[in-house]
């Protein structure tokens, strides 16, 4: 086979991978229309409408989406890939991670397949599926790559780790999936930065599914509490305090009566690691704590002055 034939074959295989991934993923993407009543002229309510997307979580009528898509909604309409429309109710939502679960009357729809978001690689090809502007005709598809795996946003997800992509993410795509070329969900689209082109973000699928499990079980997320206010050791704020370190978490405040205070942590301590694993940034500490429950004891490696010591803290449920 000559080079031209080889190139054509490779292009054909790539096109097939993309189209098959879209076909598989789009079968589990829904459109979510929300409305809330607002007092209008002559004391008549008029409806403020919003549009978003969602991912079918299971075959029992549960849909995964963003909290901001359904927050304060008085009416929800979920449109499935086959055109069926069902009213929906919010099972639970978590503003901190911007995750919500909606229940609809219909079941038996095709659930999405999820990939391991911890295995996502920088530069990996991805596809974003959403419902921009509420246009009919099924989800809109954009393509790109994973642009960064070390981003965190203060205005969404409480600073938790995000997957950044250059796949176009437009208004109405919130709650839709970011998928790999096998059609498996790697993240849930959640945010764009106004006036910034080619930058979109998705919540990692592993963390989203963990939140969804708690919402289904409790209707809310039960979180543990260490009780510190921390900043990245390598940040400008840390440099202001004269901290000479490139990684770790600088303790800027300790809550009275918190597990941190009871364990003996002090303002000015530098948390270098947890359970023997090095901490690069505060998001690493937050990510570790999200996977724990009240009563768990964590071993923190802490530098105080010139000495490094082990500090054991018994985590409590967040007040």
The whole-angstrom separation of Cα 149 and Cα 132 is 25
What is the pLDDT, as a whole number, of residue 158?
Answer: 47
In a domain, 112, yes or no: no
In a domain, 2, yes or no: no
Catalytic residues: 68, 98, 174
Q: What is the dihedral of CA 189, 102, 138, 147, to 10 degrees?
A: 10
Domain hosting 99: range is 12-16+25-104
The whole-angstrom separation of Cα 90 and Cα 251 is 37
Residues 213 and 136 in one domain: yes
Residues 247 and 192 in one domain: no
The whole-angstrom separation of Cα 255 and Cα 300 is 17
Residues 174 and 81 in one domain: no
Residues 230 and 300 in one domain: yes
The whole-angstrom separation of Cα 177 and Cα 64 is 10
In a domain, 97, yes or no: yes
Residues 98 and 161 in one domain: no
What is the pLDDT, as a whole number, of residue 192?
Answer: 64
CATH number reported for the structural domain that contains residue 236 in this entry: 2.30.42.10
Residues 68 and 122 in one domain: no
In a domain, 110, yes or no: no
Residues 258 and 190 in one domain: no
Q: Tens place of pLDDT for every residue, the chain, 319 residues?
A: 556 555 556 667 888 999 999 999 999 999 998 876 555 554 444 444 568 999 999 989 999 999 999 998 888 999 998 888 899 999 999 988 899 999 998 777 899 999 999 999 999 999 999 887 656 667 889 999 999 886 666 544 445 678 999 998 877 789 999 999 999 999 999 866 665 566 889 999 999 999 999 999 988 888 889 999 988 887 665 555 666 667 889 898 999 999 999 999 999 899 999 999 999 888 888 888 877 889 999 999 999 988 999 999 999 988 8
Residues 122 and 138 in one domain: yes
In a domain, 3, yes or no: no
In a domain, 142, yes or no: yes
The whole-angstrom separation of Cα 136 and Cα 85 is 13
In a domain, 306, yes or no: yes
Name the domain boundary from 55, 73, 104.
104
Closest Cα partner for 174 from 186, 196, 190?
A: 190
What is the pLDDT, as a whole number, of residue 162?
Answer: 87
CATH number reported for the structural domain that contains residue 157 in this entry: 2.40.10.10
What is the pLDDT, as a whole number, of residue 319?
Answer: 81
What is the pLDDT, as a whole number, of residue 274?
Answer: 94
- Number of domains, the chain: 3
What is the pLDDT, as a whole number, of residue 156?
Answer: 46
Name the 3-class secondary structure at 166: coil
What is the pLDDT, as a whole number, of residue 273?
Answer: 93
Name the domain boundary from 104, 131, 148.
104
In a domain, 111, yes or no: no
Residues 134 and 96 in one domain: no
Name the domain boundary from 74, 104, 134.
104
| Ramachandran assignment for 150, one of left (phi > 0), alpha (psi -120 to 50 degrees), beta (any other) | alpha
């Amino acid at each position: 086979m000559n080079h031209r034939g080889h190139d054509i074959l490779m292009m054909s295989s790539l096109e097939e991978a993309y189209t098959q991934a879209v076909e598989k993923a789009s079968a589990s993407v829904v459109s979510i229309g929300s409305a809330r009543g607002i007092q209008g002229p002559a004391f008549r309510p008029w409806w403020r409408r919003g549009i978003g997307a969602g991912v079918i979580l299971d075959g029992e009528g549960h849909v995964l989406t963003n909290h901001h898509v359904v927050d304060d909604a008085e009416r929800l309409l979920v449109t499935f890939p086959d055109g069926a429309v069902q009213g929906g109710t919010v099972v639970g939502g978590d503003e901190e991670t911007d995750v919500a679960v909606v229940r609809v009357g219909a079941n038996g729809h095709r659930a999405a397949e999820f990939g391991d978001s911890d295995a996502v690689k920088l530069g990996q090809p991805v596809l974003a599926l959403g419902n921009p502007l509420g246009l009919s005709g099924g989800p809109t598809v954009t393509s790109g790559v994973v642009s960064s795996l070390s981003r965190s946003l203060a205005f969404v997800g409480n600073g938790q780790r995000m997957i950044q992509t250059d796949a176009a993410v437009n208004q109405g795509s919130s709650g839709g999936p970011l998928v790999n070329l096998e059609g498996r969900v790697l993240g849930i689209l959640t945010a764009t930065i106004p006036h910034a082109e080619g930058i979109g973000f998705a919540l990692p699928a592993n963390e989203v599914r963990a939140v969804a499990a708690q919402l289904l079980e409790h209707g809310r997320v039960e979180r543990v509490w260490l009780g510190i206010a921390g900043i990245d050791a390598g940040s400008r704020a840390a440099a202001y305090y004269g901290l000479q370190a490139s990684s770790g978490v600088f303790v800027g405040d300790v809550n009275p009566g918190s597990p941190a205070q009871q364990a003996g942590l002090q303002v000015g301590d530098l948390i270098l690691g947890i359970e023997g694993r090095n901490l690069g940034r505060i998001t690493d500490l937050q990510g570790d704590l999200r996977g724990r429950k009240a009563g768990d004891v964590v071993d923190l490696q802490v530098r105080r002055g010139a000495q490094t010591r082990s500090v054991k803290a018994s985590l409590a449920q967040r007040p």
